Amino acid sequence: MALLKVKFNQKKRVKLAQGLWLMNWFSVFAGIIVFSMGLFLKIELRKRSEVMDNSESHFVPNSLILMGILSCAFNGFAGKICYDSLDPAKFAKWKPLLKPYLALCFFFNILIFFVALICFLMRGSLESTLAQGLKNSMKFYRDTDTPGRCFMKKTIDMLQIEFKCCGNNGFKDWFEIQWISNRYLDFSSKEVKDRIKSNVDGRYLVDGVPFSCCNPSSPRPCIQYQVTNNSAHYSYDYQTEELNLWRRGCREALLHYYSSMMSSMGAVVLLVWLFEMVVMVGLRLLHTSLESIANPEDPECESEGWILENSLKDTLKSALENLKKIGKFNQVEADGEGAEGEEGGKTPAITTVS
């Protein structure tokens, strides 16, 4: 028994073809939206590539761009088929291509669904990329005179100001690295010498943070140096005072920004996938309803359209049997080649008569 069998007359077939033609052009527009989302996400990731450890995060935008291009191509082609199906003479040239085309549409829809899932599941990979990338970038904050790193200070400062964050996981991350360049240190000062000597690695570490960590909304002037020293500031308690520094780490801020963006894009791609599935089912019904016309010379006669010629169970069973036949055929070919090799490898016996 066929799956989702529907009876069609000429009027219904024409309406189905016209509706599918319109839906395919909507799908082309949806493909342009998916392409634009991928391009936008790629640009956003490129903006902050200096604070990311690798390029794995670009898999999502690249996939969206590819799916957008394929969607425009597939649906534009399907729109042409639907338009030509209104004329039996024009539709005849598409008949041999429809089955392979529908098979390609099926795999294309699987890819769209996979890309939608990836948009939701990339959070873990993105988090590790940001964590390592930010950690490495902060080490180069002081290298304003080093070629290739001279803009890192500006990049991190702008990042902390824009996203209202400080450090990798928090402002205390700045206590563990030397973020002040040696050119701005007075090495004749006893305080500088003592700090450098007290550190095993010979770095100048302070309990301070860059100015970009300061919260301009705070009524108190920013305390960016001697943050943990209560006696250095009037009416200040490090343990209880609400610091006028951004408390959120930049890893968390960027992760939230990109994750929410990719989740929204994943939801849009899922909607596109549902729409593409509807279009593919409609195209299959149109294809079978036109093929099952009993008398091609009488286009007004009734016909039947279906999704699967047999039930889902029978279709899966038939597919498995075909796969088994292919496997057995390959095995027989391999055995035949092996037997030929053995015969060819035999050396005929030679008898010497003395």
Q: Choose the final residue of a domain: 205, 232, 247.
A: 247
Residue 143 forms part of a structural domain: no
Residue 93 forms part of a structural domain: yes
Same domain, 127 and 197: no
What pLDDT score does 336 carry? 59
User: Using CA atoms in the order 68, 69, 74, 78, what is the torsion angle rounded to 10 degrees?
Assistant: 80
Residue closest to 192 by CA, chosen among 182, 207, 200, 201 = 182
Whether 32 and 72 have beta carbons less than 8 Å apart is answered as yes
Collect all residues with Cβ–Cβ distance below 8 Å to 204 and sequence separation of at least 6.
Answer: 178, 180, 182, 185, 192, 195, 196
Task: Calculate the CA 25 to chain-centre distance.
Answer: 24
Structural domain of residue 17, as residue ranges?
3-137+252-306
pLDDT tens, N- to C-terminus, the chain (354 residues)? 555 677 777 788 788 888 888 999 999 999 999 999 999 999 998 888 888 877 666 889 999 999 999 999 989 988 888 887 777 677 777 777 778 888 888 899 999 999 999 999 888 888 888 888 899 899 999 988 777 778 899 999 999 999 999 999 999 999 999 998 888 888 888 888 888 888 767 888 888 999 999 988 888 888 888 888 888 888 877 776 567 889 899 999 999 999 999 999 999 999 999 999 998 888 888 877 777 766 666 666 677 766 666 555 665 666 566 566 666 655 655 565 555 555 555 555 544 443
Q: Is 305 helix (H, G, I), strand (E, B) or coil?
A: strand
Residue closest to 178 by CA, chosen among 164, 162, 198 = 198
Residue closest to 27 by CA, chosen among 71, 84, 83 = 71
Q: Choose the final residue of a domain: 231, 247, 263.
A: 247
Same domain, 31 and 178: no
Q: Choose the final residue of a domain: 291, 306, 321.
A: 306
Q: How do the residues of the chain divide into helix, strand and coil, expressed in percent and rounded to 5?
A: 65, 5, 30
Q: Give the number of other CB atoms < 10 A from CB of residue 97.
A: 12
Residue 144 forms part of a structural domain: no
Residue 193 forms part of a structural domain: yes
Residue 256 forms part of a structural domain: yes
Residue 53 forms part of a structural domain: yes
Q: What is the pTM of this model?
A: 0.78
Same domain, 132 and 13: yes
Residue 323 forms part of a structural domain: no
What pLDDT score does 26 carry? 93
The DSSP letter of residue 6 is E
What pLDDT score does 294 carry? 61
Residue 76 forms part of a structural domain: yes
Same domain, 223 and 258: no
Same domain, 111 and 184: no
What pLDDT score does 285 carry? 82
Q: Give the number of other CB atoms < 10 A from CB of residue 137.
A: 22
The Cα 226–Cα 296 span in angstroms is 89
Same domain, 217 and 269: no
Same domain, 45 and 191: no
The Cα 266–Cα 113 span in angstroms is 9
What pLDDT score does 330 carry? 58
Same domain, 47 and 103: yes
Same domain, 211 and 100: no
Same domain, 193 and 274: no
Same domain, 42 and 97: yes
Domain count, the chain: 2
Same domain, 38 and 56: yes
